[in-house]
C-alpha cells in the first residue's frame, strides 16, 4: 500500500472507501420491476465505482453486499441474490484479474452452499496477485459477528494459556477482526438517503468520515463516487487532536 498522503489534483484521497450499497429495492419499485432487477442494476453501478476508485488512487474498496440480517428478506429474493452472487463471481473474476483487482470476501461463509463457498475460494485465489485495488465484498457479514469472532479467538487463546486477560489490548483485538491487515476505512458512503451504518464494520469505523447520498445505489456511479471523494478532501481529520495541532504538524 502507498503512503497515507495519497493525493489527486492536490486534494487528499481516501486510501480505503467502504460503501453501504442501499436502495436497490426502492429503485426497482419506482420502475415497477421485481426486486432482483434492482440488485442486477446495482452490479453495473459497482463496476463504475470500482473504475472511479482506481482512477482516483483509492487502494481499498469494501462493499456491503449481504448482511447477516438480510436472510430475513423474502425467500425468493434471497435465492435470487445467491444466484446473482454466483453469476457475478463467474462473470467478473477474469475482468478483476485482468485489471489488477484483488477480490476478498469477508463474513461468515458457513451458511452459503458448498458450491458457492468453493466459487468464492476459487475467485479469491485467481485474483490474489492484484495490486491496483483490493476489493472486499462483505457477504453474510455483520459488525457484531466480526467483534464476537475476534473476542472468541482471544478467549480461546486465554483458555489454552497462550494469553492472559490482562494482555488483551484494543490492538490485539483489532488484529483478529476482518480487514485487520488493511488500512481502516477513511470514508464510508451510504446511498439511498438513509443515515445509519446497519451493523457494518462497527469496530473499523471509529474515525471514519461519513458521506450520505440520496441516490439509490443503481444510480450511483463513477461521477458520484468522485463527488464523495471531493467532499472528503475538504474535511479536517483530527483524530482527537485540535485544529491547531494539526496545522502545526503535531
What digits encode the pLDDT tens for the residues 11-41? 489 999 999 999 999 999 999 999 999 999 9
Task: Check which CATH number belongs to the domain holding 197 and give it.
Answer: 3.40.1180.10
Least confident interval from 15-24, 61-70, 103-112, 235-244: 235-244
Query: 205: domain range?
Result: 12-142+185-233
Residue 35 zone, left/alpha/beta (φ > 0; ψ -120 to 50; rest): alpha
Number of domain units in the chain: 1
C-alpha cell at 186: 477513511
The answer to whether residue 164 sits within a structural domain is no
H helix intervals, the chain: 24-30, 35-56, 75-98, 114-126, 143-159, 170-174, 222-233, 243-247
| Catalytic residue positions, numbered | 22, 70
- For residue 115, give every residue at least 6 positions away whose Cβ sits within 8 Å of its Cβ, in sequence order, or none: 86
DSSP string, 155-177: HHHHHTTS--GGG--HHHHHTTS
Say what percent of the chain tops pLDDT 70. 91
Beta strands 209-212 and 187-190, pairing class: parallel
- Does residue 59 have a pLDDT over 80? yes
Q: In sequence order, what are the beta bridge partners of 101?
A: 133
Amino acid at each position: 500500500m502507498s503512503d497515507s498522503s495519497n493525493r489527486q489534483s492536490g486534494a487528499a484521497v481516501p486510501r480505503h472507501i467502504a460503501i453501504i450499497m442501499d436502495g436497490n429495492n426502492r429503485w426497482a419499485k419506482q420502475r415497477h420491476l421485481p426486486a432482483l432487477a434492482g440488485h442486477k442494476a446495482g452490479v453495473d453501478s459497482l463496476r463504475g465505482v470500482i473504475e472511479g476508485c482506481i482512477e482516483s488512487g483509492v487502494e481499498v474498496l469494501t462493499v456491503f453486499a449481504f448482511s447477516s440480517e438480510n436472510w430475513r428478506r423474502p425467500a425468493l429474493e434471497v435465492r435470487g441474490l445467491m444466484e446473482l452472487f454466483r453469476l457475478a463471481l463467474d462473470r467478473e473474476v477474469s475482468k478483476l484479474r485482468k485489471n489488477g483487482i484483488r477480490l476478498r470476501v469477508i463474513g461468515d461463509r458457513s451458511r452459503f452452499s458448498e458450491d458457492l463457498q468453493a466459487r468464492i475460494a476459487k475467485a479469491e485465489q485467481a485474483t490474489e496477485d492484484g495490486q491496483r485495488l483490493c476489493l472486499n465484498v462483505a457477504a453474510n457479514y455483520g459488525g457484531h459477528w466480526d467483534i464476537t469472532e475476534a473476542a472468541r479467538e482471544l478467549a480461546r487463546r486465554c483458555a489454552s494459556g497462550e494469553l492472559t486477560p490482562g494482555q488483551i489490548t484494543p490492538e490485539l483485538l483489532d488484529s483478529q477482526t476482518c480487514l485487520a491487515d488493511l488500512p481502516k476505512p477513511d470514508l464510508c458512503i451510504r446511498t439511498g438517503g438513509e443515515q445509519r451504518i446497519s451493523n457494518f464494520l462497527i469496530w473499523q469505523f471509529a474515525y471514519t468520515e461519513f458521506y450520505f447520498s440520496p441516490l439509490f445505489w443503481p444510480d450511483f456511479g463513477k461521477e458520484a463516487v468522485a463527488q464523495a471523494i471531493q467532499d472528503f478532501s475538504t474535511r479536517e481529520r483530527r483524530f482527537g487532536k485540535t485544529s491547531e495541532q494539526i496545522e502545526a504538524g503535531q
